[in-house]
Amino acid sequence: MLQAGVMERVIADPLPLLRTRTSEKWTAFPPEVLPLFVAEMDYPLAPVVAQAIVDRVRASDTGYVASPGPLAPAFAAYADRTWGWSVDPAAVRTATDVSVAIVEALRLALSPGDAVVITPPVYPPFFDLVPEAGGIVAEVPLVDGRLDLEGLERAFAAGATAFLLCNPHNPLGLVHSAEELQAVASLADRHGVIVVSDEIHGPLARAGAEFTPYLSLSGAARDHGITVTSASKAWNLAGVKCAVLVTGGDRMHRRLSALPEEVGFRTSLLGLHASVAAFEHGADWLAGAVAAIEESSALLTELLATHLPLVKYAPPSASYLAWLDFRATDWGDDPSVRALAGGVALNPGPTFGVQGRGFARLNLACGPEVLTEAVERLARA
């Protein structure tokens, strides 16, 4: 269906309502703490997505998932409309969530003890998902906030089996350029490395940042790449459990045919229908959410300049995570400790890798009052 193209206004729920939520963000800390850590949004669900879930619940349609069903064409149409990426619906499979999709994709590629490259500072569970799949983490840290192509080449030449690419990159909100990704694809091609591209933050790329889906790059990328993604970050659906694995070539398609049937079966039916609604009808809400995140980011820049001028912050080109550099302050290796003592929960930088020492991650998908109060609390801390 064609999108109406009218941006919806997206406004964070008020704190008393947010505090009635039972998710990680709202239960991990006592109520006096402002939770700006885990990547959950404070916005109300997109009405079309909420309606899709309510409709299925009203129909008592809460059984098992039989197949990707309407999700495969919905995702393929979304990818084409949004990025000009042509996806064969027959090459779309589902999994419980992106974390499970990563583990299952890696499991098919790895023999026990094989090296899997990750690029810290990076989404902390990557350090655990690799061993869960039987691999060993090989770190090729970002250099000056970009992929280290020479480092990747060295790691690939040293025998890495796979590269777990964070595209766009959490926590920097970094959108890798098509040229950098092309370079990654030729290196992976040359060294026989499988690339698992985690594109969960892709729909949240800013206009002008030009997010490139890995499988849209080239035949070589499609020959060795698997994309794992979901509507769960962009439409705040982590709790309804649905992700997709996508391949673009026969070789990877055949490889994924070895996925146990159970992997798809464990997807949530509510998550599947919520994702269909998001991909088919969620563009106007998403545009509103991205606009709200941009306002939040601009406010954070102002607030830091006023209250915490030593904390450095470069606005992300994708997603809603602010990677705050406290190294010019006396807050130490883990600034989240002092932040929490001051009543604000942030993600500890060192959990993203040793490169995260002196950093903390702040969630921008909140209302301006919460953000203002949080930075004022940090300043008092």
Ligand X SMILES: Cc1ncc(COP(=O)(O)O)c(C=O)c1O
List interacting residues with ligand X (CB under 6 A): 39, 97-99, 123, 166, 170, 198, 200, 230, 232-233, 238, 243
Q: How far apart are CA 77 and CA 87, in angstroms?
A: 8
Minimum distance of ligand X from residue 198's CB (angstroms): 5
Q: Residue 25 or 222: which CB sits closer to ligand X?
A: 25
Decide: 122 and 352 in contact? Cβ < 8 Å.
Answer: yes
Q: Residue 249 or 349: which CB sits closer to ligand X?
A: 349
Q: How far apart are CA 76 and CA 91, in angstroms?
A: 9
| Amino acid of residue 207 | A
Q: Residue 168 or 288: which CB sits closer to ligand X?
A: 168
Q: Residue 133 or 303: which CB sits closer to ligand X?
A: 133
How does strand 115-118 pair with strand 359-363?
A: unpaired
Please choose, from the candidates 171, 162, 150, 168, the residue with its C-alpha nearest in 3D space to the C-alpha of residue 196: 162
Q: How far apart are CA 22 and CA 36, in angstroms?
A: 15
Q: How far apart are CA 154 and CA 190, in angstroms?
A: 12
Q: Residue 107 or 377: which CB sits closer to ligand X?
A: 107
Minimum distance of ligand X from residue 51's CB (angstroms): 22
Minimum distance of ligand X from residue 108's CB (angstroms): 18
Q: How far apart are CA 155 and CA 345, in angstroms?
A: 35
Q: Residue 273 or 338: which CB sits closer to ligand X?
A: 273
Q: How far apart are CA 180 and CA 177, in angstroms?
A: 5
Minimum distance of ligand X from residue 100's CB (angstroms): 7
Residue 108, helix vs strand vs coil: helix
Minimum distance of ligand X from residue 36's CB (angstroms): 14
| Amino acid of residue 11 | I
Q: How far apart are CA 271 and CA 56, in angstroms?
A: 10
| Amino acid of residue 88 | D
Minimum distance of ligand X from residue 32's CB (angstroms): 25
Backbone angles phi, psi at 345, to 5 degrees: -90, 120
Q: How far apart are CA 74 and CA 57, in angstroms?
A: 21
Minimum distance of ligand X from residue 105's CB (angstroms): 12
Q: Residue 187 or 365: which CB sits closer to ligand X?
A: 365
Q: Residue 122 or 308: which CB sits closer to ligand X?
A: 122
Please choose, from the candidates 195, 245, 200, 197, the residue with its C-alpha nearest in 3D space to the C-alpha of residue 220: 195
Minimum distance of ligand X from residue 333's CB (angstroms): 22
